Structure 1
Amino acid sequence: MNIQRFIDARKAQGLSQNELAEGICTQATLSRFENNGQVPNLKILIKLCNRINLPLSELFPKVGVKYSEIVEKMNKAEFFLITSKYEKANSLIDSIDISQIEDTQLVLRYHYLNGFIMIFQQQPIMDILFTFDRVLLEEETMDALIFRLLAYTGIGMVYSREGDLEKAEFYFNRILEKIYNYPAKNMEDTWRVLNIVFQCGVFYAKMEELEISDALLHYAVTICSDNHVTYYLARAAIQLAKNAIVNNKPTDIILELIYDARAYSKVNRNDIALAELRDLEASVLENNS
């Protein structure tokens, strides 16, 4: 309940607690509400709100239709994030006023999206860590678990980017303990699990733990196949091709992975991936000419 909104409305009317409470309730009842969050019965609350011309609905968390525009923006931003369109994702997130959101799940989602966008835009490490801390400092519930795992992923990615692989591995290990058993409830959850598994695969490739990396990337491909999701197929196939190069696999196997990734990228119109694949194929062919 937004008690501060109530207090602001009372003060805007120029009323003291005694003046507002007169004929409705005791000043002590009103004080307990404003100072300690002890909500009076609904009949009293309605009378108090009517006296200061405050609709009762403004005291309660905004849900349903009032959040539909924000949810739609977040849906689009999350889609742009997984399809590597970071500028578009950032533009949408920047247009959301986080101070107007009281729904905890939406707040967590906002910070997770903002944190990942900051990573891909090469923002300073302390700013990124602060953003993910805002997820981790929320109460640990089952509904919040996926966002905590995403925050751990983001922190691991940042430390990896900074070259501190020991700290990065600490966070990625925490993720692997839980992600395999996470019950994705909807398509957005599936995207998030894929994001986590893929980033873990990329990290372990950087650690030259290619067996672990390949297992995670193949798991990502399986998730895509089982859920008819194609967005991460190209990225997983690209990383598998890179791993195959490091492992000195035969050229035909490497090229097959590259061609698979190109097909997935064309389906999703992922120009960034297609450009990376052109360079990768040229490098493979040059080294084998």
Structure 2
Amino acid sequence: MNIQRFIDARKDQGLSQSELAEGICTQATLSRFENNGHIPNLKILIKLCNRINLPLSELFPKVGVKYSEVVEKMNKAEFFLITSKYERAEALITSIDISQIEDTQLVLRYHYLNGFIMIFQEKLIMDISFTFDQILLEEEKIDTVIFRLLAYTGIGMVYSREGDLIKAEFYFNKVLEKIYNYPAKNMEDTWRVLNIVFQCGVFYAKIDELDISDALLHYAVNICSDNHVTYYLARAAIQLAKNAIVKKEANDKILELIYDARAYSKINRNDIALTELRDLEAFVLEKKPSEE
């Protein structure tokens, strides 16, 4: 039992042993638990935990999963990556010692997360490519396909950032050959597919293939709707609005996309997207009739 977790929670609440024990048990009972590991009656322990807002389950050791702590960190890092909290994602990933992990899927997941964090922090292209090469050099298997597609997407994004659109398109095309038929098996897979489809949509907008971009972005919206996921809805709607501006579509249609994206952004508390949408709306509203 993780008694230190209990002690830390008590101290975080600013309670002494006698204050916590009052009305539940004797201070001596609590002292024997904290100092000597003598576990009290379960009913008493539950009451003590409730008083310090500590789930009882947090005191029990995790069993059966060798890399449970690593998986938990990766889960949080992937969520932070999706929600654009890149510094928090980086802090979690850098705390993982990859040399101690033997599970291939976890190793590939680590490199995928690390590579995308590096992209959004604008690291050097050589370092990012080396990170994704750790995935691509692994033997291709059915359960590792999604990580290969993410690696291709990441490399395409970096070449696009560097202005080498021919090389970027080479990698994005490799992704499009397979992503439509990829069977997402769980919510994490769905997030990854959304990441890929959205980034492809952004790239094809950049090279003025707006019909392809729109199709990909609408596909992303459908995935979100089918799986009740909101994190990419705002980003897809923003890019669709940008595409509509380039195509000089009617202001009403553009503003509808902007208002949809704003609603999604508010749900997700995405301040970055809200700022971008404010600027987009101002740009659209300032257009003269002759410019529409």
TM-score class normalised by the smaller sequence: 0.7 to 0.9
- What displacement does 1:248 show? 0.1
In structure 2, give the amino acid aligned to 1:269.
R
Distance 2:148 2:190 in 1: 15
1:178-221 per-residue CA deviation (whole Å, 9 max, x = no partner) reads 00000100000000000000000000000100000000000000
Tell me which residue corresponds to 1:229. 229
Distance 2:101 2:188 in 1: 20
Distance 2:210 2:88 in 1: 33
Distance 1:229 1:221 in 2: 9
Distance 1:174 1:144 in 2: 15
Tell me which residue corresponds to 2:159. 159
Distance 2:87 2:287 in 1: 35
- What displacement does 1:247 show? 0.2
Tell me which residue corresponds to 1:86. 86
1:112-148 per-residue CA deviation (whole Å, 9 max, x = no partner) reads 0000000000000000000000000011001110000
Tell me which residue corresponds to 1:46. none
Distance 1:74 1:64 in 2: 18
Distance 1:161 1:174 in 2: 18
- What displacement does 1:287 show? 2.1
Distance 2:232 2:109 in 1: 20
Tell me which residue corresponds to 1:103. 103
Tell me which residue corresponds to 1:180. 180
Distance 2:206 2:64 in 1: 43
Tell me which residue corresponds to 1:142. 142
Distance 2:243 2:174 in 1: 23
In structure 2, give the amino acid aligned to 1:267.
I
In structure 2, give the amino acid aligned to 1:243.
N
Cα RMSD of the aligned pairs, angstroms, is 1.1
Moved segments of 4+, more than 2 Å: 63-66
Q: Normalising by structure 1, what TM-score?
A: 0.77
Three-state SS of the structure 2 residue aligned to 1:66 is coil
- What displacement does 1:100 show? 0.9
Distance 1:280 1:64 in 2: 50
Tell me which residue corresponds to 2:4. none
In structure 2, give the amino acid aligned to 1:72.
E
In structure 2, give the amino acid aligned to 1:177.
E
Identity of aligned residues (%): 85
Tell me which residue corresponds to 1:260. 260
Three-state SS of the structure 2 residue aligned to 1:126 is helix
Distance 1:246 1:93 in 2: 38
- What displacement does 1:64 show? 4.3
Tell me which residue corresponds to 1:57. none
Q: Normalising by structure 2, what TM-score?
A: 0.76
In structure 1, give the amino acid aligned to 2:195.
N
- What displacement does 1:285 show? 1.3
1:252-274 per-residue CA deviation (whole Å, 9 max, x = no partner) reads 11111000000000001111111
1:201-249 per-residue CA deviation (whole Å, 9 max, x = no partner) reads 0000001000000000000000000000010000000000000000000
Matches within 5 A, 1:1-289: 64-288=64-288
- What displacement does 1:65 show? 2.6
Distance 2:288 2:254 in 1: 12
Distance 1:244 1:189 in 2: 29
Structure 2 portions without partners, runs of 5+: 1-62
Distance 1:202 1:209 in 2: 10
